[in-house]
């Protein structure tokens, strides 16, 4: 069956899309649980990252391919209905992602953005990226403590 779906059906379907508690988030949480550092889920910091290592100032985002514009130049041509709405929506999401990243970095945070397809298909690659960032941050904190101690 093809054709236009009733507005109520579309509205209901859209209301079911969640920004928290997604399968993508659950997959990323499983990866994070294997890294020996304490992380927070949905920390109350600017940009609402999915996860963060607050003491290390590392924010981790799980960016779904559609909502955050992976392969956008090709994908936007595939949109069949309400094209201008979706183009504006996704491009604004992409713009916001850049703004959030920039602001967090200005505040001293390291930002890790992982694409949904990478989380699903290459979890070890994602783990390596996060683990290396965590380990580097831990080293910097330890070095700063040593410098403070030596100057006392």
CATH number at residue 124: 3.40.960.10
- Grade residue 7 by pLDDT with cuts at 50, 70 and 90: low
Domain-located, residue 9: no
Report the predicted TM-score, pTM, of the whole model to 2 decimal places: 0.85
Residue 137 forms part of a structural domain: yes
Do β-strands 110-115 and 58-63 pair in parallel, antiparallel, or remain unpaired? parallel
Alpha-carbon distance 26 to 62, whole Å? 10
Counting Cβ atoms within 10 Å, is residue 45 exposed (0-12), middle (13-18) or buried (19+)? middle
The rounded mean pLDDT for the chain is 90
What is the band of 147 on the pLDDT scale with cuts at 50, 70, 90?
confident
Query: Cα–Cα distance between 81 and 130 in angstroms, integer?
Result: 38
The mean pLDDT of 47-58, rounded to a whole number, is 97
Residue 105 inside a domain? The answer is yes
Whether 5 maps to a domain, the answer reads: no
**Tokens encoding 133:** 């960032």
Q: Which helix (H) or strand (E) holds 62?
A: strand 58-63
Containing domain of residue 90, as a range?
18-151
Q: For residue 33, is it within any domain?
A: yes
| Tokens read off for 16 | 């079911």
Residue 123 has pLDDT above 70, yes or no: yes
Split into its structural domains, the chain has a count of: 1
Nearest one of 13, 21, 19, 28 to 117, comparing CA atoms: 28
Q: Tell me if 101 is assigned to some domain.
A: yes
- Residue 110 — very low, low, confident or very high, per pLDDT cuts 50/70/90? very high
Domain assignment present for residue 113? The answer is: yes
Query: Helix 23-32 to helix 123-151 angle, to the nearest 10 degrees?
Result: 50
In a domain, 2, yes or no: no
Average pLDDT score over residue span 69-89? 92
């Amino acid at each position: 069956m093809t054709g236009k779906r009733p507005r109520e059906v579309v509205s209901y379907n859209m209301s079911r899309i969640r920004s928290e508690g997604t399968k993508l988030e659950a997959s990323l949480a499983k990866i994070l649980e294997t890294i020996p550092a304490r992380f927070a889920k949905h920390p109350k910091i600017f940009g609402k990252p999915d996860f963060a290592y607050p003491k290390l100032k590392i924010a981790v985002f799980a960016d779904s391919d559609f909502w955050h514009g992976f392969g956008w130049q090709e994908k936007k041509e595939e949109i069949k209905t309400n094209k201008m709405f979706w183009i504006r929506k996704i491009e604004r999401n992409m713009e916001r992602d850049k703004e959030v990243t920039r602001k967090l970095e200005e505040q001293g945070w390291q930002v890790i953005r992982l694409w949904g397809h990478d989380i699903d298909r290459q979890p070890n690659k994602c783990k390596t990226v996060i683990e290396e960032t965590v380990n580097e941050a831990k080293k910097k904190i330890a070095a700063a403590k040593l410098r403070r101690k030596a100057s006392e």
